[in-house]
Structure 1
Amino acid sequence: MVLPALFEKTRVVAEKTGKVAYLMEASRQVLWNIGSSRFLDICTFVTAVSLAAGFSGRIRAWLRGRKGTAAGQVSERLRALLRAVSSQKGMIRGGMYLGMHRCIVYGMLFLFTGTVMLAIEMHLGVNFIHGAVYLAFGLIVDLAGIAVLIGLSLAIYKRYVVRPDRLESGLRDIFPLMLLAMVVLSGFLLKGVRIVATADPWAVWSPVGHAFALLLGVPLDQHGALRLHRFIWHGHVVLSFSLLALAPWSKLLHMLAVPLSIFSRFPITMRMAAGFSEDSGRGAWTVADCTRKQLVETDACVECGRCKKLCPVFLGGMPFAPMILLKRLRNLVRKGRWTSPLAGQVIDEAALWSCSLCLSCEERCPMNGEHGFGIVAIRRGENERNRVPAMIAARFDRNLASLADASNCPTAPHPGFDVYLWPGCKESNPDQSEILRNVQQLLKKAGVNFSVLEPPACCGGPVRRLGNEPLFQRNVALNVGYLEKLKNATVVTCCPHCFNTLGNEYPVFGANVKIMHHAQYLSGLAADKMLLPGKSSALKAAYHDPCFLGRYNGEYTSARALLESVAGLSLIEMKHSRQKSLCCGSGGGTVAAETARQAGQRLLTRICEEGAEAIITGCPYCREILRAAAMEQASEKPVAILDVAEILHRAEIP
């Protein structure tokens, strides 16, 4: 009903003005009231030079990085890129912010398309913007401009009114927003003046331009409108081409860098296994040692600050977050300081070795930054130059001392069992031994024929994340040889770190076993009615998702399914759960005790605020940190810290 009414109004207005206004005659002259395109040609040339110089400079800088390992699966990554760019989901979080970004992106896409259509008509003489196309063109362009202004208003409101701590609000942040707003507003003003000067009978099809015309029509005569139109046209052209010309020199560069970063990203489960081969196997000691992907990330980072929100290092008071690291690295690249060391200039020494590699930053990053891999690469560079803290070196020494010589390896495991238990580092972590005993008792009650393995070495995951790749591979060589007779066997571990390392990184070295976390295996037994969880005492419990089980491997359901089957247990779903789970601070091989202590206290406090009487997890390190935090808190009714297997074992199992 709306479109026929508009067509009828167009016809009536045309008749009153004495013009022949059949639908197919609706059009306007390109460069009306301007005449020559010389000014437009000059602006186009200057903009082209700026774009060529800017983008070529940035691309040359990116290509100075190490090539790294090809990400593979081009078609799959291309589909992921198209999904991310077209929907904006994953890149932007929150309903209001997602709508804000969509308004800007989609609105600018329509405005740019309209500009291209006008350029084709002007330069190629293809006259297709007339009649119904012209009327629809005017309406769509106006609506697109309104969408952009709405999005910009929300962006400015978020950054300068709400002002969340994670966001920075400098000139580099506000300038592109204000310039884009001026381009759109000057375009509306230009259209309004043209409508006044020409008494455009089709003005109703440009509702925003028509509104500006109504505001301007009273004080303007036709002669004044013509002069004002020429003045505004030149200003609008300068603003529009300035916006385009500054793209490679400003924060707008993220429009190219973000898609490149998303396209070249490795899946988390493949990253450590594939990322340290060939050229990318070296550590990153100086800026020149960074990979191309890492250099692209410096320009893709929009400094949204989302990497700060859950980072245990940043929340612990250290001046570190991936955003800060990338900002410092970008400054060094722009200054051409390719020989500058990364440790100490890009990231503080304390922060470098405190990072737990929980990947909360990567999970929240809109440009799919590989921040954890970058941290490990810098640690490798420090290892290659024997620049590691004494506590880290002591950990390496303990690992070396525990390695069995190949000739003294334990007897290879006997095949024929239903399942094999990988014990993890039970000697150095008493919690792991206790959890392992609970799992063994549950397997016995379920009638499972199992054997506990005696691997010759630690899985090596922690030392790899601390940057000691040679030591990791020594661990792997012994363990792969030990597991050789267990091809296609099921190996269950209580440790998410072992689960991730054995499952995602060992296959590259020839391991061929099926790795399961104990929550997954026990959940399967319960589903097959081999393990029947009984009744627990009335208890409100929250499940804490371990980082290496959840964010690294996407495993969020098995433990919850088990716990929900225990009668009497009321499971609370916390605000910070699943992908948004808070890190306990003890992963990634870190020995930063104070960071882990603060993270444990913070995690315990937030869980207790949600009314939990017990905290259940699936990681011995999370359990250890949370128990230490609970002991520090003076409480009449201390919170119980339990493992999934422990809560099942405590329940009455028939």
Structure 2
Amino acid sequence: MSPIITGLLIVVAVSFFIMTMSGRTGVLLGLKGENRLDNIPFRINALLRFGLGQKRMVDPEEFTPGMMHVFIFAAFLVLQVRSLMLFSMGFSESALVLFSDLSHPFWLENPGVLGAYRAYLLVKDVVAALAVLGVLYFCFLRAKVKPDRMTPSWEAYLILGFIGGLMVTEFLFGGSHMVEQNGGFVWWEPVTSTVGLGMNALGHTGAYVLGRIGFWMHLSIILAFLNFLPLGKHFHIITGLPNVFFQRTRASGKLGTPNLEKEEFGTATVKDLTWKQGLDLYSCTECGRCQTHCPTYITGKPLTHKGVNQDLKHWIWDHEQWVEEGYSASGVKEPLPEIIGSALKAETVWACTSCGWCETACPVFIENIPRLIDMRRYQVQVKAEFPQEIQRVFEGIERQGNPWGIGQDRRDEWAEDLHLPTWGDGGGPYEYLFFVGCAGSYDDKQKKVSRSLVKILREAGVSFATLSKQEMCNGETARRMGNEYLYQTMAKMNVEAWNGLGVKAVITQCPHCFNTIKNEYPEFGGEYRVISHTELINELLKDKRIKLSQVMNTKLTYHDPCYLGRHNGVYDAPREVLKAIPGLEVVEMQRSKREGFCCGAGGGRMWMEEHIGTRINHNRVNEAALTLQHASNPSTPFPDATDKQKPGMVGDYKEKGGSGVVAVACPFCSTMLRDGVNDTGREENIKVKDIAELVADAMETKPGGAATVTPGPAVHAKPE
């Protein structure tokens, strides 16, 4: 071939690549530090499963496009070796002869090596053909199906052209040698030899010319592709695997804890991002999977995590010198502008419900929620700029220990006639602290859930006590709203009090309390065994410490709370409890379990108004009504919740049909769904009930069982 042309192509391409990458890497090196080298075995395992193994690409909602992506990814891995061979052929005629002619003396003298090489060629041929299939599929998907999650893009077609071109030129180059050697079909290169058979019609000269064109096009595409990667969304080909390796090792519901004494008050400018958050931006594939069940996107809010990633990434790329060296576009050294106002709008940052779908769906493990919460922290703690309605929430927690601002002396009114033991009153010892929570203490509907849970615990003989008037908010709401100082104040105060009382295990009826106490309190010394009320009830049923005999002849659908299900993996326990209730016909909503749709209350949104788009809780109630109606009348149209062109259509159901119960396991979900039922005029047909209420109503009560508290055997949550 030509060493001069090959060398010139490499020098020019690599020089441009280094120039581009110097700016990209310079920005990352200039961002805040963060330790992502802990738990190396976990990271290696994650890289193998989710990076090289592409496990998330074939999730159920996107299985077919995921498999096509796997085909292309496999081809990239396998053809890297082939590409090195082709470059060596460009430099050396001897390499060209060696790799192209399997009758070369080297192969005859080394039959074992020849066998391995043939096996590689077979794998190469198969994956390259599958990659062509993948390219054709994605072209069809974009041109004809036009999925909602995919943004129309000329870049996508260019990259698909590059990928398809690499595969086709590989076949043409290999096929030309088949013609030259008068070869026929061979098993170790089935596609290439078939192409060669077709090229026989061109004659030796025609096949030779077409093969050489294919060779130089292949090298040129590789080098052009290399330089295009850092300029667009396909940068993830370089950064995706590292991003998977550097994923967080903690639970998704656990936020990082800034050091307030060191004035870590949140994210103001892009320089306040960590290098991992910058790598997240580089790694966004723009696949749009984060949108398919995103409550804000589905209901028309000004937030898509794909959009946030792109807005931030392109702002950084457009201002690399400013970010890296401090010089603005005008050449003047000046501070960077704040993210909100330059790259993002305030309403975008405040729209997120922190439901976690985007992070669950992302194939490269981009962490969107912590970044947005950090921006909220700055807005609250430094700028004092936040939605007006949450001011009273902060004041309520500060002054009365609850977001409603109701007097602390009324915290135990819900249980005045129950004569509950109070931890630290000289009784006990108690196995569990029943952390009632603010909603369970003050919200009229949730008080009934608290009483139902007490009835169950007493009937099962569970040893527990409450803190009565001494109980305080755990601070979760304040933290998700950005008031980190208030959260840390509440957390430290609670941990100090509970540790002083010797608390070892905690029961919660609120997933937000559950997540905070379980995953976030350990950073302040609060190491407790935390169990949600649905897990506990399920264990009591399995241990036959309670018995359900009251028949409930009704249809029921269960709504997964995001902070119980998606963030903490508790999906089965609530369903097992519901199935144990006689007479209940449990039907699943399409968006359930891992794909569950948010009620709209998370991330502090419980306390904020929805001024834009449709209400999230209305969308969810519509789906619940449609699910119940379809269960009664299967002829009712039931659109696919993951429809590629218009996802979320199950939430568009406006008819009054559907009757039964929507079961919940979260006070926030209960409030939002009850409001949604009332707002949509379905209160006569649909009732919203907590699982504890349903169990208490169905439970047999032993004589005196609800009036005494006796120690029972330990009940533990199943390991997750």
TM-score range, shorter chain: 0.7 to 0.9
Report SS of the residue matched to 1:537.
coil
Matches within 5 A, 1:17-32: none
Matches within 5 A, 1:440-455: 440-454=454-468, 455=470
**Is 2:512 the counterpart of 1:465?**
no
Q: What amino acid maps onto 1:83 in structure 2? A: R
Map Cα deviations across residues 184-238 of structure 1 (whole Å, 9 max, x no partner): 21222233334334434676753333333343333x3434444444444333332
In the alignment, which of 141, 144, 148 is matched to residue 165 of structure 1? 148
> Could you say if the C-alpha distance between residues 43 and 412 of structure 1 is closer, same or farther in structure 2, counting changes exceeding 3 Å?
same
In the alignment, which of 464, 488, 506 is matched to residue 491 of structure 1? 506
**Is 2:661 the counterpart of 1:614?**
yes
**Is 2:348 the counterpart of 1:351?**
yes
In the alignment, which of 577, 592, 603 is matched to residue 562 of structure 1? 577
In the alignment, which of 349, 372, 377 is matched to residue 374 of structure 2? 377
CA distance in 2, matches of 1:498, 1:229: 66
Q: CA deviation at 1:370?
A: 1.0
CA distance in 1, matches of 2:685, 2:390: 33
Report SS of the residue matched to 1:269.
coil
Structure 2 partner of 1:28: none
**Is 2:591 the counterpart of 1:594?**
no
Map Cα deviations across residues 214-266 of structure 1 (whole Å, 9 max, x no partner): 43333x34344444444443333322322233333333320222222222222
Q: What amino acid maps onto 2:196 in structure 1? A: A
Structure 2 partner of 1:571: 586
Map Cα deviations across residues 545-575 of structure 1 (whole Å, 9 max, x no partner): 1011111111112211211111111222222
**Is 2:715 the counterpart of 1:645?**
no
**Is 2:435 the counterpart of 1:422?**
yes
CA distance in 2, matches of 1:474, 1:160: 54
CA distance in 1, matches of 2:504, 2:254: 24
CA distance in 2, matches of 1:262, 1:151: 23
Q: CA deviation at 1:120?
A: 6.1
In 2, are the aligned partners of 1:460 and 1:476 still within 8 Å (CA)? yes
Structure 2 partner of 1:321: 304
Structure 2 partner of 1:47: 13
Matches within 5 A, 1:293-312: 293-312=276-295
Identity %: 26
Report SS of the residue matched to 2:437.
coil
Q: CA deviation at 1:447?
A: 2.6
CA distance in 2, matches of 1:137, 1:403: 67
Structure 2 partner of 1:282: 265
Deviates more, 1:600-609 or 1:242-251: 242-251
Q: CA deviation at 1:325?
A: 0.4
Structure 1 partner of 2:331: none
CA distance in 2, matches of 1:589, 1:88: 34
Report SS of the residue matched to 1:588.
coil
Report SS of the residue matched to 2:341.
coil
What do you get for the CA RMSD once the two structures are aligned?
2.8
> Could you say if the C-alpha distance between residues 428 and 259 of structure 1 is closer, same or farther in structure 2, counting changes exceeding 3 Å?
farther
Structure 2 partner of 1:605: 622
CA distance in 2, matches of 1:549, 1:334: 38
Report SS of the residue matched to 1:181.
helix
Map Cα deviations across residues 244-298 of structure 1 (whole Å, 9 max, x no partner): 3333333332022222222222245276454434889430111111111111111
In the alignment, which of 5, 26, 45 is matched to residue 79 of structure 1? 45
Deviates more, 1:177-186 or 1:479-488: 479-488
> Could you say if the C-alpha distance between residues 140 and 350 of structure 1 is closer, same or farther in structure 2, counting changes exceeding 3 Å?
closer
In 2, are the aligned partners of 1:424 and 1:458 still within 8 Å (CA)? yes
> Could you say if the C-alpha distance between residues 67 and 402 of structure 1 is closer, same or farther in structure 2, counting changes exceeding 3 Å?
same
In 1, are the aligned partners of 2:58 and 2:64 still within 8 Å (CA)? no
In the alignment, which of 113, 131, 134 is matched to residue 148 of structure 1? 131
**Is 2:681 the counterpart of 1:634?**
yes
Structure 1 unaligned blocks of 5 or more: 1-33
Give TM-score, length-normalised by structure 1.
0.88
Map Cα deviations across residues 582-615 of structure 1 (whole Å, 9 max, x no partner): 1000112123332798111111111221226211
CA distance in 1, matches of 2:534, 2:316: 46
Structure 2 partner of 1:12: none
In 2, are the aligned partners of 1:261 and 1:296 still within 8 Å (CA)? yes
In 1, are the aligned partners of 2:508 and 2:533 still within 8 Å (CA)? yes
Q: What amino acid maps onto 1:413 in structure 2? A: G
In 2, are the aligned partners of 1:584 and 1:603 still within 8 Å (CA)? yes
In the alignment, which of 512, 522, 534 is matched to residue 549 of structure 2? 534
CA distance in 2, matches of 1:487, 1:157: 63
Deviates more, 1:201-210 or 1:606-615: 201-210
Report SS of the residue matched to 1:555.
coil
Map Cα deviations across residues 471-508 of structure 1 (whole Å, 9 max, x no partner): 11111122122212343532211111111111111111
CA distance in 1, matches of 2:448, 2:217: 74
Structure 2 partner of 1:108: 76
Q: CA deviation at 1:468?
A: 0.8
Structure 2 partner of 1:7: none
Map Cα deviations across residues 132-162 of structure 1 (whole Å, 9 max, x no partner): 4465454433223211101111222222221
> Could you say if the C-alpha distance between residues 236 and 503 of structure 1 is closer, same or farther in structure 2, counting changes exceeding 3 Å?
closer
Report SS of the residue matched to 1:601.
helix
Matches within 5 A, 1:243-262: 243-262=225-244
Deviates more, 1:496-505 or 1:338-347: 338-347
**Is 2:164 the counterpart of 1:181?**
yes
**Is 2:349 the counterpart of 1:341?**
no
**Is 2:357 the counterpart of 1:360?**
yes
**Is 2:566 the counterpart of 1:544?**
no
In 2, are the aligned partners of 1:412 and 1:485 still within 8 Å (CA)? no
In 1, are the aligned partners of 2:132 and 2:167 still within 8 Å (CA)? yes
CA distance in 1, matches of 2:603, 2:28: 29
In 1, are the aligned partners of 2:28 and 2:275 still within 8 Å (CA)? yes
Q: What amino acid maps onto 1:59 in structure 2? A: T
Q: CA deviation at 1:118?
A: 5.3
Q: CA deviation at 1:623?
A: 0.8
Structure 2 unaligned blocks of 5 or more: 109-113, 324-335, 403-407, 412-421, 632-659, 702-720
> Could you say if the C-alpha distance between residues 485 and 223 of structure 1 is closer, same or farther in structure 2, counting changes exceeding 3 Å?
closer
CA distance in 2, matches of 1:230, 1:273: 56
CA distance in 1, matches of 2:514, 2:529: 10
CA distance in 2, matches of 1:203, 1:572: 55
Report SS of the residue matched to 1:459.
coil
Report SS of the residue matched to 1:616.
strand
Structure 2 partner of 1:516: 531
Report SS of the residue matched to 1:259.
helix
CA distance in 1, matches of 2:205, 2:364: 51
Q: CA deviation at 1:121?
A: 7.7
Structure 1 partner of 2:517: 502
In 1, are the aligned partners of 2:301 and 2:351 still within 8 Å (CA)? no
CA distance in 2, matches of 1:629, 1:416: 43
> Could you say if the C-alpha distance between residues 506 and 71 of structure 1 is closer, same or farther in structure 2, counting changes exceeding 3 Å?
farther
In 2, are the aligned partners of 1:538 and 1:569 still within 8 Å (CA)? yes
> Could you say if the C-alpha distance between residues 202 and 355 of structure 1 is closer, same or farther in structure 2, counting changes exceeding 3 Å?
closer
CA distance in 1, matches of 2:179, 2:252: 62
Structure 1 partner of 2:642: none
Q: CA deviation at 1:428?
A: 4.7
Structure 2 partner of 1:396: 394
